[in-house]
Chains A and B, each alone.
Chain A
């Protein structure tokens, strides 16, 4: 039987060692955002605004990555807050990007690495609501922007495929997280027996 302290220690270890995965997922997102900003901006104002947003993201990630390198990693609250901030930015891109927003937007895939990294670091009780939140938010944005698209066969098919694969990112990550947790326990048990 596991004590509450053991579970808390394991969760803290997950955040301590695993956060580099979230940090790298965010670096990839930042590269993608930079490409989008540089490619799509039509005027100097647009370029300035989008690049300021990218710089803000880079600043946050530099701060978190720097702390990690100094072995003073961010805590659980900071990681969750920064992940939610990422979700907000991606949702804004999906909702407002010029010419292709809502279900027409191809940038829903920006959610994938983020949800996957989150599921590897946090326990299922946090990953499940996070994955549901992201999927729900995406469906909501698509529904608000073009409700009629939801009720066509093609629209439903497309949305089904996207939300299913998005949920699979969280679900498979959580499954592996559990596998690894069992492996850790089995290994510690084995070492204890050998000693």
Chain B
């Protein structure tokens, strides 16, 4: 069912999905601060981690303010900040030893938010980059063959989340398009029938 999809439809999806990205980032920032303070490492590392999290929170505050004021944020800002999220998670994963780090779990809410907001091609570019980077980090830091099995499952589930979110976004868009066309054409038909009678 390939219908023409106007650019405004994608921009609308991005704008509507942006709120999910913002909430996912607040979860990342708050959980990050909590976890850093719960089990602090050396003071210099903690300083660095808190600086990164605060930068994330400040940029997110700006994006939240844009949503609250109902202003449309530049696309590049949304894509750039999402890339920064993935960068932060990856940096933390590397700093915690790669494969053995549990922080990879934060890729899931981040990817979920992107799958609901981004157009398909851009989503899969982000997904591909994330999967390849993470797989590379893990390959270098893995110790047993069974770790490879775990890595495959992790990557597969990340792909599953992205595919499911993207599929739902497209179902919703299609529903809106077909319903609009259906309602409008039935209204035209009713008007014509009324005129004829």
Where the two chains meet, the residues of A that have a C-beta atom closer than 8 Å to any C-beta of B are 13, 17-18, 20-21, 24-25, 28-29, 31-32, 35-36, 39-40, 99, 106-107, 109-110, 112-113, 116-117, 120, 153-154, 156-158, 160-162, 164-165, 168-169, 172-173, 175-176, 179-180, 183-184, 187-188, 191-192, 194-195
Contacts and interface: CB of A to CB of B under 8 A. Distances in A.
B164 A25 contact: yes
A187 B39 contact: no
A13 B31 CA distance: 36
Given A17-B171, A120-B168, A165 B163 contact: no
Given A35-B149, A40-B149, A24 B39 contact: no
Interface stretch (B43-51, B108-116, B128-136): B108-116
Contacts of A13: 175
B109 A168 contact: yes
B112 A32 contact: no
A28 B164 CA distance: 10
B171 A21 contact: yes
A18 to B, nearest CB: 7
A187 B24 contact: no
Interface of B: 16-17, 19-20, 23-24, 27, 31, 34-35, 38-39, 102-103, 105-106, 108-109, 112-113, 116, 146, 149-150, 152-154, 156-157, 159-161, 163-165, 167-168, 171-172, 175-176, 179-180, 183-184, 187
Nearest to A35: B152
Q: Is the interface of B mostly helix, strand, loop or mixed?
A: helix
B105 A162 contact: yes
Contact of B172 (A107, A113, A180, A192): A180
A21 B112 CA distance: 13
Given A99-B146, A120-B168, A192-B183, 12 more contacts: A20-B171, A21-B171, A107-B150, A112-B157, A116-B165, A168-B24, A168-B109, A172-B20, A172-B113, A183-B172, A188-B183, A191-B184
A31 B16 CA distance: 32
Contacts of A156: 38
11 contacts: A21-B168, A24-B164, A29-B160, A40-B149, A172-B23, A172-B112, A176-B20, A183-B176, A184-B175, A184-B176, A194-B184
A48 to B, nearest CB: 20
B164 A176 contact: no
Highest count of chain A CB atoms <10 Å: which of B35, B106, B112, B164: B164
